Amino acid sequence: MATTFIESKEEQVSSSQLVPEISNIPKHVAVIMDGNGRWATQRHLPRMAGHERGVAALRRAVEASVQLGIQALTVFAFSSENWRRPEDEVSFLMTLFLRALKSEVKDLHKNQIKLRVIGDLSGLSTRLRKAVEEAEEKTALNTRMVLTVAVNYGGRWDILNAMNKALVASPHLRELKAPVTEDDIRPHLSLANLPEPDLFIRTGGEQRMSNFMLWQLAYTELYFTDLLWPDFDYECLEAAVHSYQMRERRFGRTSGQLAMHADSVPGHAGLV
Ligand code: FPP
């Protein structure tokens, strides 16, 4: 298992520089879990009830991903902009993360799933940061799947953070003797050890990226569904994967090129 694990210390392929290997099951899926509030409101429940059901839906999403053979799942739990929500909702969400981290980590570990949390963790409470550290440490060597949870994360923050780290790591960049390249920045991005997502899913009916993984989603296939996040299940993930399998992934090339070299040029994800 360890030899086929997608996480790597080496730099991953940049989809704007090289054509990555394409498989019929997406290796890495990124998800915006939207619609918790509306799910609750539709049932005359407080918004918090929707977030609680959101945790259960995340558990189902992880199980479904393992069943389908997806190797990395990255979910957007709290954006840099979510601090603008009412104080009691923010505080509830933080308590929910802490509770979920503590209650779910045992099962994740039992199922050989590695947990990672990305984002500006300096904005979180000491207790939450400690729980994150413990959960990451406990699951660090697991190789069945990587679950990455983005908390206090923003795609622009990620790029700027990587740029700033690159400037510290490579002082020659500060002298501006040569143009900054992707290779200078990529190793410092939050998800540098994972391939770029093949498939992006957003539930809740909105069709926007909301500042999620702006760099990494450059060539990702996008899938939007009206289903609200608390209702997410295996069938929904399967439908998204099926839609992905119908896409022609050209990475800048033409359909003609793909058809002419169907044996040697990767392009179509292909049906299972
Ligand atoms: C968006 O729905 C959802 C969030 C901002 C929170 C997502 C959090 C969870 C699903 C819990 C996950 C828990 C862990 C431990 C990672 P919304 O509130 O924007 O819904 P709305 O658009 O209907 O108002």
Structure confidence by residue, pLDDT tens digits, 219-260: 999 999 999 999 999 999 999 999 999 998 878 777 787 777
CA atoms of 28 and 84, how far apart (whole Å): 30
Q: Whose CA is nearest to atom 7 of ligand 1?
A: 77
pLDDT of residue 11: 58
Residue owning the nearest CA to atom 5 of ligand 1: 78
d(CA 68, CA 272): 11
Domains identified in the chain and CATH numbers: 25-153+197-249 (3.40.1180.10)
Cα(48) to centroid(ligand 1), Å: 9
Told to judge if 34 belongs to the known catalytic residues of this protein, a careful annotator would answer yes
Q: Is 204 in the pocket of ligand 1 (CB under 6 A)?
A: yes
CA of 184 to the centre of ligand 1 (A): 34
Strands 72-79 and 145-153: parallel
Distance from residue 93's CA to the centre of ligand 1 (Å): 8
**Residue 10: what pLDDT?**
57
**CA–CA gap between residue 213 and residue 198 (Å, rounded):** 12
Any residues with CB less than 8 A from the CB of 189 and at least 6 apart, and which?
Answer: 158, 159, 162, 215, 216
Question: 36: Cβ below 6 Å to ligand 1?
Answer: yes
**CA 272 – ligand 1 centroid, Å:** 32
Q: What is the pLDDT of residue 56?
A: 97
Identify the residue whose C-alpha is closest to ligand 1 atom 3. Answer: 34
The pTM score is 0.91
* Nearest ligand 1 atom to alpha carbon 54: 10
237 lines ligand 1 (CB under 6 A): no
pLDDT averaged per 10 residues in sequence order, the chain, 272 residues: 61 79 93 98 97 97 98 96 93 96 96 97 96 97 97 97 94 84 94 96 97 96 98 98 91 77 60 42
| Strands in 203-261 per DSSP E | 221-224
The tokens for 176 are 């501006």
| DSSP structural state of residue 259 | H
- Among the options 34, 158, 184, 198, which is catalytic? 34
Tokens encoding 37: 């509030």
Centre of ligand 1 to C-alpha 53, Å, is: 9
252-258: long-range contacts at Cβ-Cβ below 8 A with a sequence spacing of 24 or more? Answer: 253/19
Rounded Cα distance, 231 and 268, in Å: 30
Written as one letter, the residue type at 37 is G
**244 touches ligand 1 (CB under 6 Å):** no
Cα–Cα nearest to 222, from 240, 205, 236 = 240
pLDDT at 3: 40
Residues 6 or more apart from 149 whose CB is under 8 A from it? Answer: 74, 75, 77, 97, 115, 116, 117, 118
Active site residue 198: no
How far apart are the C-alpha atoms of 166 and 252, rounded to whole Å?
A: 28
35-60: pLDDT as tens digits: 999 999 999 999 999 999 999 999 99
Q: 132 in ligand 1 pocket by Cβ < 6 Å?
A: no
Rounded CA separation 172/190 (Å): 22
In angstroms, the Cα distances linking 262 to 18, 43, 214, 221, 241 are: 18, 50, 30, 20, 22
Tell the residue number behind the tokens 């296939």, with chain if given. Answer: 221
Instruction: Please tell me the residue having the least CA distance from ligand 1 atom 13.
Output: 55
